[in-house]
Structure 1
Amino acid sequence: MGEPSFLSTKQGRKIAYHRSEGQGPWVVFLGGLKSDMQGTKAVFLEEWAKQQGRAFLRFDYSGHGESSDDFTDGCIGDWAEDTAQAVAALTQGPILPVGSSMGGWQALLLARSMPERVAGLVTIAAAPDFTEDGYWAGFSDEQKQVLEEVGHVELPSDYMEPYIITKRMIEDGRKQLVLRSPLDLPFPVRFLQGTADTAVSVATAVRLLEHASGPDMQLRLVKDADHRFSDGPCLALTLEAVEEVLAAGD
């Protein structure tokens, strides 16, 4: 894989990244919460991009992977800053964000903040607004009290050690919501979602599809696929969606 390079943000965070030059639009992989750029989907897409001579970027948000800071220091807005600055500094021209889980929310925030750069969008088990509709909505009165008094709560995860969810993450998440106001995606969009996903529901995927507006938008449900969406057939479907969006933009 080689050693990563690092980008210093305006906020003083150091973002680890791998980029490869090639034909645009740049494919930019945006990982999930507590995931990193060494994940199966990110590396798979990078290998494809290199074979095709396609420009590609993957990176770790602050508090993730090889980037600086602790996970518990971060929030959705911080990672949106990391994403926007990585795209601005490390890519040129049109981009195609591919966002997985929380990265799907980040892709939507990116499309909202710089629509002139986005040529298309692919999400995998996108989790927009999950801090509010998932965490906060699911907290018991006791958990909400602990969050207020202690500043964080611990939540079990099906995939790794418990998540530490901070009061700052919840409060900042309310500033980043994308399903409460118009969400225009004026480019080809493919949402991918597994029906066996225990982290993001099919209902969330349908809600995103119905809420967003755009001329070329599809939701593809994959029976029995889980949240990782990383087996051979799922990777092939992801690549198919990326190639389809790229072809639609040509």
Structure 2
Amino acid sequence: MAGGWSLVSAAALVRRKSWDFAAISFGPTALLSRRIERTPRRLPVCRWKTNLSFLSRPDLPNLAYKKLKGKTPGVIFIPGYLSNMNGTKAMAIEEFCKSLGHAYIRFDYSGCGSSEGKFEDCTVGKWRKDVLSIIDDIAEGPQILVGSSMGAWLMLHAAIARPQKVAALVGIATAADSMVTQFNQLSVEAKKDIEVKGTWKVPTKYSDDGFYIFQYSFIKEASFHCLLHGPIPVTCPVRLLHGMKDEFIPWQTSMQIADHIISSDIDVILRKNGDHRMKEKEDIKLLVYTIDDLIDKLTTSN
């Protein structure tokens, strides 16, 4: 197993005058527990508005983003597949960062939301470039990257490419390699049929049509960005949150990712009743508590 990591149950997360991540054993051995001995910051109740801006890039689509100026480390939210910067998690993190006075950026991939470009022309590699553009051209100072699903896959790539700017990672239902892995698990006949048709329909309750449609070319290109074939050279603190009722990305995927990351500071945090999107009230609490803990860790260590 690469590095050291602890399996923590969010079901045992207790809010008192100081709050805990208390351990719970899912097997015969009790796991590590640790206490954060401080008062939790209060969750904000109002929404703060930020202006929509665009990052101009030569020969690449302009990216829409919203930025809060503030202290470092800053936080960047990286959305999931077919998602955008206005989702529940993205907005909740913005409110939380505003309450702390920390910088925050949320953005839309090219071909998505308010950004320029055509969705059908997009690939994992192009969206990887989008994330790096935001880090290189918009973000200032060290950053905590928060990635949701496919966004967490891109988050890992960004941490590998920009280790000097990425201070910590928070993955939510991290979907590293997932679509490629699922495609490779299909029968030879099914894969051949998808290649001939040029599209792959994947059932999901998160689409009005009841399925996602992936271009065969999209899957083939995504295979060049897989990470789970060897050690993942990420050395910063990593927190992987996952719902155990995620029917799209199995929670065991986060365990596998933790096993491949070389950092010695990794927690896998499971919510027994959490689903793929992890956007219920208690899910959001856990998310902002996790970010808060990392900000405190990074601030006190400098």
TM-score by length of 2: 0.79
Are 1:31 and 2:82 counterparts? no
Say yes or no: does 1:117 pair with 2:165. Answer: yes
SS in 2 for 1:174: helix
SS at match of 2:105: strand
For 2:283 and 2:59, locate their aligned partners in 1 and report how far apart those are by CA, in whole Å: 36
Residues of 2 paired with 1:57 and 1:143: CA distance?
Answer: 41
Q: Helix, strand or coil: the match of 2:231?
A: coil
Instruction: Indicate if the aligned counterparts of 2:231 and 2:260 stay in contact, CA closer than 8 A.
Output: yes
Name which of 253, 256, 277 aligns with 1:207: 256
Confirm or deny: 8 A CA contact 2:50 2:68 kept in the other structure. no
1:150 aligns with 2:204: no
Query: How far has the Cα of 1:159 moved from its partner?
Result: 0.5
Aligned counterpart, 2:235: 186
Give the deviation of 1:186 after TM superposition. Answer: 1.6
Q: Specify the code of the residue in structure 1 equivalent to 2:261.
A: A
CA shift for structure 1 position 144: 2.1
Q: Give the stretch that moved more between structures: 17-26 or 179-188.
A: 179-188
| Counterpart contact for 1:72–1:164, Cα < 8 Å | no
Partners of 2:51 and 2:122 in 1: how far apart?
24
1:199-246 deviations in whole A, cap 9, x for unaligned?
A: 110111111111111121110111011011011111010011111111
Deviation at 1:2, TM superposition (A): 5.8
1:172 Cα shift? Answer: 1.4
Letter of the aligned partner of 1:124 in structure 2? I
Letter matched to residue 44 of structure 1: A
Pairing 1:1-250 to 2, within 5 Å after superposition: 1=49, 4-134=52-182, 136-160=183-207, 161=209, 162-250=211-299
Q: How much has 1:58 moved relative to structure 2?
A: 0.3
Instruction: Name the CA distance, whole Å, in 1 between partners of 2:187 and 2:52.
Output: 41
Question: Structure 1 residues 147 and 10, CA, compared in 2 at 3 Å: closer, same or farther?
Answer: farther
Secondary structure of the corresponding residue to residue 246 of structure 2: coil
Per-residue deviation, residues 70-114 of structure 1 (Å, max 9, x unmatched): 322211101000110111111111111000100110100000111
- Is the 1:188–1:248 Cα contact (8 Å) retained in structure 2? no
Q: Distance in 1 between matches of 2:190 and 2:200?
A: 7
Residue 285 of structure 2 aligns to which amino acid in structure 1? A
The answer on whether the counterparts of 2:242 and 2:270 sit within 8 Å (CA) in structure 1 is yes
Amino acid at match of 1:169: F
SS at match of 1:109: helix
Moved over 3 A (4+): 138-143
Structure 2: distance between partners of 1:130 and 1:172: 13
Give the Å deviation of 1:146.
3.6
Q: Mark the runs of 5 or more structure 1 residues left unpaired by the alignment.
A: none
Q: Distance in 1 between the 2:184 and 2:247 partners?
A: 16
User: Alignment partner of 1:13: what SS?
Assistant: strand
Letter in 2 for 1:157: T
Compute the TM-score of the two structures, normalised by the length of structure 1.
0.94
Using the TM superposition, give the Cα deviation of residue 152 of structure 1 relative to its aligned residue in structure 2, in angstroms: 2.0
Aligned residue number for residue 6 of structure 2: none
**More contact order relative to length (CA 8 Å, sep ≥ 6):** 2
Partner Cα separation in structure 2 for residue 139 and residue 11 of structure 1: 37
Asked if the contact 1:96/1:119 (under 8 Å) is kept, the reply is yes
CA distance, structure 1, for counterparts of residue 226 and residue 202 of structure 2: 21
Amino acid at match of 1:115: P
d(CA) in 2 for partners of 1:141 and 1:148? 11
| Residue range with higher mean Cα deviation, 33-42 or 179-188 | 179-188
Residues 131 and 169 in structure 1, CA contact (< 8 A), matched pair in contact too: no
User: 2:20 — aligned with what?
Assistant: none
